[in-house]
Structure 1
Amino acid sequence: MFKRLLAILAGLVIGGAVLAAGAAAIAIIITYPRLPSLDVLTDYRPKIPLRVYSADGQLLGEFGEERRSFARIHEVPQLMKQALLAAEDERFYQHSGIDYMGVLRAAVGNLVSGHARSGASTITMQVAKNFFLSSEKTFTRKFNEALLAFKIEHTLSKDQILELYFNQIYLGQRAYGFSAAAQAYFGKPITNLSVAEMAMLAGLPKAPSAYNPIVNPDRARLRQQYVLRRMRELNFITQDQYDAAVKEPLQLASATVDSNQPALYVAEMVRQAMYERYKDAAYTEGYKVYTTLDSHHQQWAYDALRAGLLDFDRKQGYRAPESYIDLASAEGEDQTEVLDDALSEIRDSGDMQAAIVLSASSTEVRAYMRGGKVAVIKGAGLEFARRALSPKLAADKQIRRGAVIRVRAHDKGYWEIVQMPDVEGAFVSMDPRSGAIKSLVGGFDFNRRSFNHVTQAWRQPGSTFKPFIYSSGVERGITPSTLFNDAPLTVPGAPGSPSWEPKNDDGKFAGLISMRRALTQSKNLVSVRLLMAVGTDYAQQYIQRFGFSPKQHPAYLTMALGAGAATPLQMAEGYSVFSNGGYRIKAFFIDRIEDQSGHVLAKTQPAVAGQNATQAIDPRNAFIMTSMLKDVVRYGTAAKAMSLGRMDLAGKTGTTSDWKDAWFVGFNPNLVAATWVGYDQPRSLGRYGYGGTAALPVWMNYMANALKGVPEVELPVPTSIVVKPGAGQRGGDEYYYEEFQKTNPELKIDNHGTVPGSNASDAAVDDATAKDPNAPAAKDAVENVKELLF
């Protein structure tokens, strides 16, 4: 009887097994032909984001919904592959796509629990799921996953499968694939990762959010240590390597600071240009854009502008904390959660870190920072904000518990309280011969204000515009030695309108003064008289040679004082004409566009000074103007720049009415740079708002680095220029057009307002204007000089 029961039971088991096998076979026969094609794997084309690079190959920015960086499997470090196998599939190179023992264990566990709780997915099965299936945990999906894994294994090699997994898997922080994750979490290529960092990344596929080291550092650490243990157990690493990796503190890239912050304005300019050209494909086809930027110049410009704006803002005093967080009922772990949540919404800005005050007194402030670190600020670190520590101050101005402030590590090793500046600025530098932009910083912090002040801020250029008016005078026959009367001037207004009485900035008058010296000292009254002499219509036409639009510079006498509108980029382009010998160049920032395989799709072919660029002004004019702008640096409003120890620098400061804009534009033969400082909503910069005090230091800071070790360049005197030694400012040389040598190049005005040698002057002006069909007759121009120099 017992034997019979055993036989019946065995028959049932065998019969059940046969039926199950038959059912499985039928399911396979029905399902397998319906499995999706593997073309998406054999012709793998991931959505690669747009990447922007400097001219020297440094990554400046990345744009796309997904962070991706494709890597061939032979490029992946062996230890990274081993870390991944230890965490996900140690028998990957032995099984055929399905780990049957693992599947059996998972199936038993799921049957015991009554529902699908876990699986034993191999790397091949995960590839199948990531490319073709949903993430739901059902027996049907698992069955299809296993069949797909079998199909994949019979189509692709093991290394091909691992390559697909390595590049496709989602790892948090918008990163797909381990190369992208290495940049997202550690800010470095995968080839530079340590064993500890590799283990951290290898632990992410199981649960990217739960094991995200930026969001959940404790859980991520436990997962990392598990991976390290498995690597040691499998003899992928030695005991010494294991011990070192367990102890290694990880330096994570901040989730709130873009590591490419110095170049974000340029990266955005590239993104806009690429979208205009390729639309949505710009973000998925893996285009690589190489800009003209030099990464060193960009860093110097970024640092210089930020330092200059912070220094200017510091002189205005501490305003108040950025905001306040209610910590009244938060204690212990609850307080930490509140603090972390609050800081997650606030971006750091460069080295200026957001912090929340835990306690504050007149001698010490304790502030909670990202990652749980507490900064203790005392002594010199409190000096800037000391007034805000007074309990007598209004509550919304006090640094008190819950206040959101900015702190920075001082060079001398202590924490100090700082603040984000209200004032904005812009800086751009370029090669004056080709227009290739070397650096561009559109504001203090792109993440705070994405408005690009270099290209979008139309501001009054003030006295930095005067050289273009002076150049028009040189073109009309006025020389650097021509004497003007720096004296009060009243210009009658239109009927019913008040008269205009321009003033010099210092309120003083110098009397008779040469044009050279007037530019050096930025004399407003001489600039107005000069414009009156050449004529506003002629000057308005003339400035177009430098790239300025007449619409932005109406033909009024106020044009002499820079009352029109220009961007910092336009000003740099304009001064390039002086620097390069008189050629009109166009600024550009994209050198070439490549596809993801490195094939060049487009390349900029700029017009180059001295080759194929348009001659905008006479090279003699450019030389003479450069010589006068050198005097501005040597003896005038930009004399501070002489501390750079160079004699080949030229430039001009600019300050607009009521000190609303501060400028400096300067150059040598190889580099031109413009800087602007002001408020987005124009208002006075105050007593520190001069071009020489607010803008010039930024330019000097940059140039000190950019020209370090670069030999000085002195351009030769152009032909048809007469050099008169000792006739210039402070005993320097003076320069005239050769054709004016027959006349009296030193036009003088006596106390009675008469102009000796007017016939000779007639000839000189006639020579200077004969080439311009739109210029007034020579007699009219000379009469202007006679009548309007006073």
Structure 2
Amino acid sequence: MANYYLVMIKKIITTCLGLLLGLALFGVGLIAIAILVTYPKLPSLDTLQHYKPKMPLTIYSSDGQVIGVYGEQRREFTKIGDFPKVLKNAVIAAEDKRFYDHWGVDVWGVARAAIGNVMAGGVQSGASTITQQVAKNFYLSSERSFTRKFNEALLAYKIEQSLSKDKILELYFNQIYLGQRAYGFASAAQIYFNKNVNELTLAEAAMLAGLPKAPSAYNPIVNPERAKLRQAYILNNMLEEGMITLQQRDQALKEELHYERFVQNIDQSALYVAEMVRQELFEKYGEDAYTQGFKVYTTVDTAHQRVATEALRKVLRNFDRGSSYRGAENYIDLSKSDNVEETVSQYLSTLYTVDKMIPAVVLEASRKGVQIQLPSGRKVTLNSHALGFAARAVNNEKMGEDRIRRGSVIRVKGSGDTFTVVQEPLLQGALVSLDAKTGAVRALVGGYDYHSKTFNRATQAMRQPGSTFKPFVYSAALAKGMTASTMINDAPISLPGKGANGKAWNPKNSDGRYSGYITLRQALTASKNMVSIRILMSIGIGYAQQYIQRFGFKPSEIPASLSMALGTGETTPLRIAEGYSVFANGGYKVSAHVIDKIYDSQGRLRAQMQPLVAGENAPQAIDPRNAYIMYKIMQDVVRVGTARGAAALGRADIAGKTGTTNDNKDAWFVGFNPSVVTAVYIGFDKPRSMGRAGYGGTIAVPVWVEYMRFALKGTSVKPMKAPEGVVSNGGEVYMRERMTTSSDLALDNSGVAPRPTQPARRAVPNENRRRTESGNAPAREELDETPVLPSNTGNNNKQQLDSLF
């Protein structure tokens, strides 16, 4: 009987083993078939063999300073040999201790994971090697399934057959996501510790090595305790593998780590320029602009940018002094926050200190004082003196959402325990400075602060240029046959049917005074509106429109009406500066541009600007003699006219023209010498009067002077040389063939009046300006206020930004 049971047991065991063997063979067969079917369908390894990581667009100034970085992934590609050994050991100890021994899949690791998953009743963990992680990161999803793991293993094997271990490690070290928008360990070293990767300590390396497993869960900033446990696990693994000593491990565990919020070293003065370049690159390359690691070098100089920015801000600040408090700039609801201090800190980390104006959030507000939290985390109480002009806004229900209350976002200035409430100016402006011979932008400021308003007034603000447009009309007159000594009647004029709603148009000089017959030179120096209109009537609107396009203006920017003479069209500071460069460089049309060179991520030159250069390959826009005569006339504007403030530079080579529009809504000054053209515009974004202080000569010229004092420092004074064909007679300059030609204009409402008997004169110096209305123009601070517009001005509120590359 016993033998019978033994025989039966043997049969059962034999049958079971046979079934198991059969099942195993069947499984092996299925796996073999799956491999044979799947392996040929695996993706090509071109992506790995020709690895091009997604790298951000980086924009530089001409002197090599970073002025902008754009791209979702912060990554700095680093070759494997440049990663420190301590980091490589830490990552291998954490992720794949047998990395240099297996063929892509760690069989023993898989077995351990399989047992753990069976015990857990489902797929809970894996045993992915570094090679498998590379396969997943480049080709597969994060789905937890047998199919994905099977494909991952096959891909890992294929990768191991094609790439060296060091190349695989290099791919992993550069591609892996490590939290905080950091991709790759080089980027993570900067973001978490503000260090270069080769400066990491053992403790820091072990902390970073713990991130691949779960970047959020083991983030040392967000979850310091879990991150510390993960760091200890890795250090123990390194000790077991003989990578470090016991003393090194203990010392690393004791090391106190300091996490510094990484701030990209971006020069804040050129953010408007950086955004212009970003738009240009996006138009050229699409989304690839943000992932291909382009390095773009611009024409702007950071030193010029900083001076230009401060010059503009200074004038805007001074104008805003005395203004009442306009209210808090924002509000955050703190009532639902479980940790108010942390909520406020996170919010403030998204804001920037602008012009030493520090953002702060109000924690408590009462008559006794206002408690605020600063970006540093410090809490400061502001008394009534510190509140100053903002005191009336504290819990003032009449101010609605703008009142100062708990959660209000305000700005303060100061240090230590002394802070006062301040506010950003409402008045805005722009400055553009060009190389007159090439059009290269040396400085461009689009407003008070890019962070608060990204609208670029230098390139996007379509505003009336006022009398800064007159020189283009006068240049057209010279081309038509007039001279600087041509006499024109500065007298009132009335034009039936040319005004609004078909009524008569009655333009006037801004001061209401008229000088009778004066020269063309005197008229531009004193910015006489009546003379400008009569000149345009004489040469013809159509002719003037065609001629002025030579300076780079679009037809839509040149009104098809007599108001063109007063600058009632709309254009941008950049376009005006570009137009004046024709006068400055001897009559050549150059193109304003901010991009110089574009390099790819490998340092190869992808594109380089080939600018049009005055006197070389740039087209001749106007007669060089015309440009010279206009330059000489506009020197008088600086010497004795509306731009006398610019004479503070003490240079004999400066020329320019001011401009002020109706009700002092826009103020301009464009000044230049033969090398540099700089345009300054001041005005509110929603046009309104700037009052008596809002003339081009009083508010725009000071910005220009402060910037140009720096821009021209150390450069020699070189007035423009007279080109061939220019002659001088009686203190005036002429084109040779025009010196004896008479082209005086004496137009009035009825037509041509008799020619005056008084001779042509140059604009007279200050001491001789006390003339009657029949004599020379008295030069006020500004005489170029644009009158009320006639109809059909061709206004257009949208500007299509030309390509700057």
TM-score by length of 2: 0.76
Partner residue of 2:469? 465
Partner residue of 1:403? 408
- Greater alpha carbon shift after TM alignment, 128-137 vs 345-354: 345-354
2:279 equivalent to 1:253: no
Q: C-alpha displacement at 1:756, in angstroms?
A: 4.1
Q: C-alpha displacement at 1:572, in angstroms?
A: 1.0
Partner residue of 1:584? 589
Q: C-alpha displacement at 1:483, in angstroms?
A: 5.7
Partner AA of 1:619 in structure 2: P
2:127 equivalent to 1:126: no
2:551 equivalent to 1:546: yes
**Matches of 1:442 and 1:197 in 2, distance apart?**
42
CA contact (8 A) 1:652 1:665 kept: yes
Partner residue of 2:169? 162
Q: C-alpha displacement at 1:401, in angstroms?
A: 2.0
2:444 equivalent to 1:437: no
**Matches of 1:567 and 1:104 in 2, distance apart?**
70
Cα 1:342–1:49 shift into 2, 3 Å: closer
Partner AA of 2:159 in structure 1: I
**Matches of 1:320 and 1:194 in 2, distance apart?**
48
Deviations 1:717-768 (A, max 9, x none): 333333469x4xxxxxx5333445557999999xx9743499x99xxxxxxx
Partner residue of 2:634? 629
- Structure 2 counterpart of 1:71, from 51, 68, 78: 78
Q: C-alpha displacement at 1:462, in angstroms?
A: 0.5
Deviations 1:2-43 (A, max 9, x none): xx9xx9999999999989987886576445443434513234
Partner AA of 1:458 in structure 2: M
Which secondary structure state, in structure 2, belongs to the residue aligned with residue 583 of structure 1? coil
**Matches of 1:602 and 1:130 in 2, distance apart?**
32
Partner residue of 1:713? 718
2:624 equivalent to 1:619: yes
Aligned Cα RMSD in Å?
4.8
**Matches of 2:230 and 2:484 in 1, distance apart?**
73
**Matches of 1:183 and 1:218 in 2, distance apart?**
18
CA contact (8 A) 1:747 1:755 kept: no
CA contact (8 A) 1:232 1:238 kept: no
* Highest RCO, 1 vs 2 (Cα 8 Å, sep ≥ 6): 2
- Structure 1 counterpart of 2:458, from 444, 454, 472: 454
- Give the alignment of 1:271-350 within 5 angstroms: 271-279=278-286, 281-282=288-289, 284-314=291-321, 316-328=323-335, 333-336=338-341, 338-339=343-344
Q: C-alpha displacement at 1:612, in angstroms?
A: 1.9
Q: C-alpha displacement at 1:160, in angstroms?
A: 0.3
Which secondary structure state, in structure 2, belongs to the residue aligned with residue 152 of structure 1? helix
Cα 1:757–1:370 shift into 2, 3 Å: closer
Cα 1:679–1:150 shift into 2, 3 Å: same
Q: C-alpha displacement at 1:460, in angstroms?
A: 0.8
**Matches of 1:639 and 1:230 in 2, distance apart?**
77
- Give the alignment of 1:317-716 within 5 angstroms: 317-328=324-335, 333-336=338-341, 338-339=343-344, 352-360=357-365, 364-370=369-375, 372-374=377-379, 377=382, 382-383=387-388, 385-389=390-394, 394-407=399-412, 415-446=419-450, 449-476=453-480, 478-480=482-484, 486=490, 488-494=492-498, 497-509=502-514, 515-644=520-649, 646-716=651-721
**Matches of 2:672 and 2:452 in 1, distance apart?**
30
**Matches of 2:431 and 2:349 in 1, distance apart?**
30
Q: C-alpha displacement at 1:166, in angstroms?
A: 1.9
**Matches of 2:669 and 2:315 in 1, distance apart?**
13
Which secondary structure state, in structure 2, belongs to the residue aligned with residue 129 of structure 1? helix
**Matches of 1:398 and 1:535 in 2, distance apart?**
56
Q: C-alpha displacement at 1:265, in angstroms?
A: 4.2
Q: C-alpha displacement at 1:158, in angstroms?
A: 1.9
Partner residue of 1:731? none
Q: C-alpha displacement at 1:556, in angstroms?
A: 3.0
**Matches of 2:449 and 2:18 in 1, distance apart?**
74
**Matches of 2:148 and 2:33 in 1, distance apart?**
15
- Give the alignment of 1:208-247 within 5 angstroms: 208-211=215-218, 216=222, 218=224, 222=228, 234-235=243-244, 246=256
Which secondary structure state, in structure 2, belongs to the residue aligned with residue 675 of structure 1? strand
CA contact (8 A) 2:590 2:614 kept: yes
Q: C-alpha displacement at 1:581, in angstroms?
A: 0.8
Deviations 1:252-287 (A, max 9, x none): 238xxx947654544444444445444555555555
- Greater alpha carbon shift after TM alignment, 492-501 vs 713-722: 492-501
Which secondary structure state, in structure 2, belongs to the residue aligned with residue 204 of structure 1? coil
Deviations 1:547-593 (A, max 9, x none): 22344323433222211122222101110011101111222334345
CA contact (8 A) 2:61 2:300 kept: yes
CA contact (8 A) 2:483 2:738 kept: no
Which secondary structure state, in structure 1, belongs to the residue aligned with residue 686 of structure 2? coil
TM-score by length of 1: 0.78
Which secondary structure state, in structure 2, belongs to the residue aligned with residue 571 of structure 1? helix
CA contact (8 A) 1:408 1:415 kept: yes
- Give the alignment of 1:704-783 within 5 angstroms: 704-723=709-728, 727=731, 734-742=732-740, 754-756=755-757
Which secondary structure state, in structure 2, belongs to the residue aligned with residue 124 of structure 1? helix
Deviations 1:491-511 (A, max 9, x none): 454598444333333445566
**Matches of 2:676 and 2:223 in 1, distance apart?**
47
Cα 1:541–1:239 shift into 2, 3 Å: same
CA contact (8 A) 1:86 1:227 kept: no
- Where structure 2 has 5 or more consecutive residues not aligned to the other structure, the ranges are 748-752, 762-805
**Matches of 1:381 and 1:663 in 2, distance apart?**
36
Percent sequence identity over matched residues?
50
- Greater alpha carbon shift after TM alignment, 267-276 vs 604-613: 267-276
Which secondary structure state, in structure 1, belongs to the residue aligned with residue 256 of structure 2? helix
Partner AA of 2:256 in structure 1: V
**Matches of 1:414 and 1:197 in 2, distance apart?**
38
Deviations 1:618-674 (A, max 9, x none): 222222322333333344433333444544333222211122222222222222222
Cα 1:12–1:355 shift into 2, 3 Å: farther
Partner AA of 2:371 in structure 1: R
Cα 1:671–1:245 shift into 2, 3 Å: farther
CA contact (8 A) 2:462 2:571 kept: yes
CA contact (8 A) 1:458 1:565 kept: yes
Partner residue of 1:779? none
**Matches of 2:445 and 2:453 in 1, distance apart?**
12
**Matches of 2:128 and 2:666 in 1, distance apart?**
64
Cα 1:191–1:468 shift into 2, 3 Å: farther
**Matches of 1:599 and 1:283 in 2, distance apart?**
17
Cα 1:57–1:204 shift into 2, 3 Å: farther
**Matches of 2:610 and 2:148 in 1, distance apart?**
55
* Equivalences, count: 740
Partner AA of 2:360 in structure 1: A
CA contact (8 A) 1:368 1:375 kept: yes
Deviations 1:85-132 (A, max 9, x none): 465456645665556676566556555544444444442232122123
CA contact (8 A) 1:82 1:231 kept: no
CA contact (8 A) 1:106 1:119 kept: yes
Partner AA of 2:51 in structure 1: Y
Partner residue of 2:796? none
